[in-house]
């Protein structure tokens, strides 16, 4: 997360009441509310590209592709996150009837940023792993054309595949392939640093 908590010692119910009355988005973990920081141009384009590619691939299937406005509840910890993209292909189950919190996504995508990268790789991924429906967790770099795809194996372990230009992200759980080059289409990446 990288930023200081706005409020501490809250219950999930108090968080949801706060969040639903707020004009901004906030995540909730460990009883603390954290403001979501604004994104960069690259972050925005990557999120839209991933969501668009998944939507196109799943258009004729009984799946829902959500962008960063759909909140995901981690039942095991009581945390709430806003992934950059999520997919649900079974009947989407929503928490508490409000229609704004998904509890059973199949795929989660997070676009990495400098302030949240360590959290997305560590504690947030640990919490996502506790959701039985999640089969794939994809991290999207903003600094190089690289996807990190974590896939849940039958024995509960996770297999990491790192993908670069010319590769395809294979989401076997959805029977979908997404070209890495399409995810990075029109995305301004920083110039590579020269090797010493």
pLDDT at 142 over 80: yes
Distance CA 53, CA 62 (A): 16
Q: Using the predicted structure, report yes or no on whether residue 3 has a pLDDT greater than 60.
A: no
Residue 90 CA neighbour count, 13 Å, CB half: 13
pLDDT of 153 above 50: yes
Q: What is the pLDDT of residue 127?
A: 96
Residue 2, pLDDT above cutoff 70: no
CA distance 105 to 127: 13
Taking only the tens place, the pLDDT of each residue in 46-63 is 999 999 999 999 999 999
pLDDT digits (tens, 9 = 90+) for 5-31: 567 778 888 888 888 888 888 889 988
* Domains (range + CATH), the chain: 39-183 (3.90.1570.10)
Question: Which pLDDT score, from 0 to 100, does residue 161 have?
Answer: 98
Question: What pTM does this model have?
Answer: 0.90
According to the model, what pLDDT value does residue 99 have? Answer: 76
Q: Which residues pair with 152 in a beta bridge?
A: 158
Residue 168 clears pLDDT 90, i.e. is over it: yes
Cβ atoms 15, 33 nearer than 8 A: yes
Question: What is the pLDDT, as a whole number, of residue 114?
Answer: 86
**pLDDT > 90 in the chain, percent:** 65
Q: Quick one: residue 52, left, alpha or beta (phi over 0 = left, psi -120 to 50 = alpha)?
A: alpha
- Which pLDDT tens digit goes with each residue over 71-120? 999 999 999 999 999 999 877 676 766 778 999 999 999 999 988 899 99
Strand partners, 26: 35
Give 120-186 as a 3 state SS string: HHCHHHHHHHCCCCCCEEEEECCCCCCEEEEEECCCCCEEEEEECCCCEEEECCCCEEEEHHHHCCC
- In this structure, the strands spanning 107-111 and 136-140 are parallel
- The 10 Å Cβ neighbour count of residue 16 is 20
Q: What is the pLDDT of residue 146?
A: 97
Whole-number pLDDT of residue 58: 96
């Amino acid at each position: 997360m990288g930023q200081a908590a706005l409020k501490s010692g809250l219950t999930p119910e108090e968080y949801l009441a706060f969040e639903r009355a707020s004009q901004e988005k906030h995540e909730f973990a460990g009883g603390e509310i954290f403001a979501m920081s604004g994104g960069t141009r690259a972050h925005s384009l990557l999120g839209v590209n991933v969501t668009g590619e998944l939507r196109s691939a799943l258009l004729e299937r009984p799946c829902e592709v959500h962008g960063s406005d759909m909140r995901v509840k981690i039942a095991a910890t009581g945390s709430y996150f806003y992934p950059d993209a999520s997919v649900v292909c079974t009947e989407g189950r929503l928490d508490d009837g409000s229609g704004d919190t998904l509890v059973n996504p199949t795929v989660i995508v997070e676009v990495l940023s400098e302030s949240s990268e360590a959290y997305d790789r560590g504690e947030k991924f640990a919490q996502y792993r506790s959701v039985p429906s999640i089969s794939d967790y994809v991290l999207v770099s903003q600094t190089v054309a690289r996807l990190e795809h974590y896939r849940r194996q039958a024995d509960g372990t996770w297999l990491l595949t790192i993908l670069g230009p010319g590769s395809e992200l294979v989401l076997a759980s959805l029977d979908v392939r997404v070209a890495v080059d399409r995810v990075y289409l029109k995305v301004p990446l920083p110039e590579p640093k020269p090797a010493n």
